[in-house]
Structure 1
Amino acid sequence: MTTMSPRARVLTGAVAAAVLSAGTFGAMSANAAPAAAPAAAPAQSAARSVSDHHLRTTTHLTIEAATKAAEATLKAAEKDDQRVTVAVVDRNGTTLVTLRGDGAGPQSYESAIRKAFTAVSWNAPTSELVKRLQTTPTLKDIPGTLFLGGGAPVTAGGAPIAGIGVAGAPSGDLDEKYARAGVAALGR
């Protein structure tokens, strides 16, 4: 029998171990069955419908309607040669459309948004809300509001669904006149 050098023995052992490992792994892989998937739970039990008495249906102004109202508002102001900004917000006070007319002052942008927000929040024209400040002066401390004439609510079934705010004319009365023109355009 031939004697192998220590180096040859280590090399031969390593090759044998590699061949044995590869063969064992291959056999195991070939014979392994995929794990059984757990039985699917009925979809109904995982996702249950909410009962109708837990839901509330709301009405929202479309972007097309908001744009129509804003454009009608701006046209009404332009007929009187007034440079204004008009904003339309949804029921939640989120701005849908803002149009800044040519030459409108920089302050008019934010003011129009805040007037629209105020009108929809209280479902009242902002000129009426200004009068409430006499008896409840802390109303003006509510964030995001502006108690100046120029905001008008848009309603459906008596509930507020949007607000239109106008700023930039020389008076709140004029701003509100233009906002009402935008509300009127939605009724056509």
Structure 2
Amino acid sequence: MKKLSKRTRVLAAGVTLAALGAGAFGAVSANAAPAAAVAKADAKNKNTMRTTHLTVEAATEAAEAALKAAEKENQRVSVAVVDRNGNTVVTLRGDGAGPQSY
């Protein structure tokens, strides 16, 4: 492997230090505004929104209803209820459902 010249090493070190300094300055600048001021600005400009989520009880009720409907059709299934992001809220495995049905 070729050894770098002193000039190249000094230049590389200077560029690295400048990048680290700029990053530190950016991090301090980004945190300079108080959180309360940012929250007020977002509420004022309507940049935030509220969402509603299913409770575990409601998700369980929906899953049980789906299992009962499948049983009426003689289907052996598992049921999963997920939230709007695709995260599982409730999973129920029906009687006789195979391990692959998850």
Q: Which has the higher helix share?
A: 2
Coordinate RMSD, CA, aligned: 1.7
TM-score if structure 2 supplies the norm length?
0.57
- Work out whether 1:57 is the aligned partner of 2:50: yes
Q: Which residue of 2 aligns with 1:162?
A: none
Runs of 4+ with >4 A deviation = none
Residue identity in the other structure for 1:55 = T
State the identity %: 69
Residue identity in the other structure for 1:48 = A
Aligned mate of 1:70, from 63, 71, 83:
63
- Work out whether 1:87 is the aligned partner of 2:80: yes
Instruction: Tell me how far 1:47 sits from its aligned partner.
Output: 4.2
Aligned mate of 1:48, from 18, 36, 39:
36
Instruction: Tell me how far 1:59 sits from its aligned partner.
Output: 2.2
Instruction: Tell me how far 1:87 sits from its aligned partner.
Output: 0.4
SS of the equivalent of 1:97 reads strand
Unaligned runs of 5+ in 1: 1-44, 110-188
TM-score if structure 1 supplies the norm length?
0.32
SS of the equivalent of 1:60 reads coil
Structure 1 Cα separation of the partners of residues 50 and 58 of structure 2: 19
Q: Which residue of 2 aligns with 1:96?
A: 89
SS of the equivalent of 1:99 reads strand
Query: Which protein is bigger by CA-based radius of gyration?
Result: 1
Instruction: Tell me how far 1:46 sits from its aligned partner.
Output: 4.8
SS of the equivalent of 2:52 reads coil
Aligned residues: 65
Q: Which gives a bigger RCO, structure 1 or 2 (Cα 8 Å, sep 6+)?
A: 1
